[in-house]
Amino acid sequence: MISTAFTTRRLFIAIPLLLASAFMPVSVQAETTDWVSNEGGRMRIVALAPDARGTVRGALQIEPKAGWITYWREPGDAGIPPHISFPETSDVSLSKISYPVPRRFDNGDVRDIGYDTAVSFPFELSVKNPNQSSAITAFAFIGICRNICIPFQAEFNLGLKADGGTSFAEAMIINDAEGKLPEHPSDDFAVTHYSVSADGDTLRLRLQLPKDAPKKPQVIVTGPEGHVLFNETKGERLEDSYSVDMPVGKLPKGYDMKGKHWGILVLAGKRAMETSLAFE
């Protein structure tokens, strides 16, 4: 698999477009920035005022144009996942960013994980002094691709007002984004067993599926950065249980699974569940 830090795609990365569009400054109205566009789509940031603990809820909104896609936290065989960063001298830091349920796109031998329609990535920021209004700079870096992959980077200037209250429109956008995240494990949808074969070549899974789930769910396992398990062997459905083996593939040289946590996303009809696998 390919590192997600700056991954190329099937043809080439349009470097001149990156140089032309990188660090485009954007003015703001309240806590919603203007849209920044390139030939494959557009993006902006929406954020609420800090709460008493200094937590800022927000969302990175991306709207790919028809025929283009943008990426999940692990893009698959190629691509660039979304990143948000701040200057080292900033009084704000990114606490977490979450990823709505993606789709898998198969194009010959290339498998992508991402979104071909508008998507909002909810995030939380931590502000050092929530009682003081501040202007912050945020950098967003995404990949947006069709036959070529265009790195798309923009600079956003946000005004965070200590007494700004809550905007209904912005809160609705963020709440909607959070509502599209994968669900946590539950009694009717969970990983009930997992193990690795003695030779380390196969990950064995047993899943509890919802009663109305399709016969064969879609399973995506993410290991070390850039390493995604797609392929399945010996998939077997028995009532609401699904057992499957997944080839681990070639891991980075010297990589030891012991003590590591891998991610797993299971898509089963209209529901999706995400959790982690801890290897002891």
Grouping H, G, I as helix, E, B as strand and the rest as coil, residue 21 is helix
Compare 212 and 140 and report the one with higher pLDDT. Answer: 140
Give the closest residue to 146 by CA, choosing from 107, 102, 190. 107
pLDDT of residue 166: 65
Domain with CATH 2.60.40.2320 in the chain: 190-278
**Residues 154-187 pLDDT 10s:** 999 988 877 656 678 899 999 999 999 999 999 9
What is the structure's pLDDT at 129? 84
CA torsion sign for 17, 19, 20, 21 is positive
Return the higher-pLDDT residue of 235 and 26.
235
CA–CA gap between residue 102 and residue 96 (Å, rounded): 18
Could you identify the residue written with the tokens 């700056």? 6
Q: What is the pLDDT of residues 58-75, one digit of tens each?
A: 999 999 999 999 999 999
200 CB burial (10 A radius; 0-12, 13-18, 19+): exposed
pLDDT tens digit sequence for 27-55: 333 489 999 999 999 999 999 988 889 99
> pLDDT category, 79, cuts 50, 70, 90?
very high
* Cβ density class 39-55: b for 16+ within 10 Å, e for less: ebbbbbbbbbbbeeebe
| CATH number 3.30.420.40 given to 15-179 | no
Instruction: Mark residue 186 as left, alpha or beta (left: phi above 0; alpha: psi -120 to 50; beta: remaining).
Output: beta
pLDDT at res. 4: 36
Q: What distance in Å separates the CA atoms of residue 198 and residue 248, rounded to the nearest whole number?
A: 12
- What are the helix and strand counts (H, E) for the chain? 2, 21
Tell me the per-residue pLDDT of 83-134, one tens digit each, with 9 for 90 and over: 999 999 898 999 999 999 999 999 888 899 999 999 999 999 999 888 887 7
State the CB neighbour count (10 A cutoff) for residue 228: 21
DSSP state of 192: E
Distance, in Å, from the CA atom of 104 to the CA atom of 180, rounded to the nearest integer, reads 16
Q: Is the pLDDT of residue 148 over 90?
A: no
Residue range(s) occupied by CATH 2.60.40.1250 in the chain: 15-179
Query: What is the DSSP-derived secondary structure letter of residue 201?
Result: -
Residues 6 or more apart whose CB falls under 8 angstroms from that of 36 comprise: 21, 24, 26, 42, 43, 44, 154, 156
pLDDT at 14: 45
Q: How confident is the model at residue 146 (pLDDT cuts 50, 70, 90)?
A: very high
Model pLDDT, residue 165 = 62
State the pLDDT at residue 18.
Answer: 40
**Positive or negative torsion for Cα 56, 43, 113, 222:** negative
Reported as a single tens digit per residue, the pLDDT across 202-214 is 999 999 999 999 9
Question: How does 115-144 read in b/e, with b if 16+ C-beta sit within 10 Å?
Answer: bbeebbbbbebbbeebeeebebbbebbbbb
Which tokens in the block code for residue 215?
């016969």
Give the residue among 260, 259, 263, 261 at the shortest CA–CA distance from 272.
Answer: 263
* Res 190: pLDDT: 98
CATH number of this structure's domain 190-278: 2.60.40.2320
pLDDT of the residue at 66 = 97
Alpha carbon distance 83, 151 (integer Å): 11
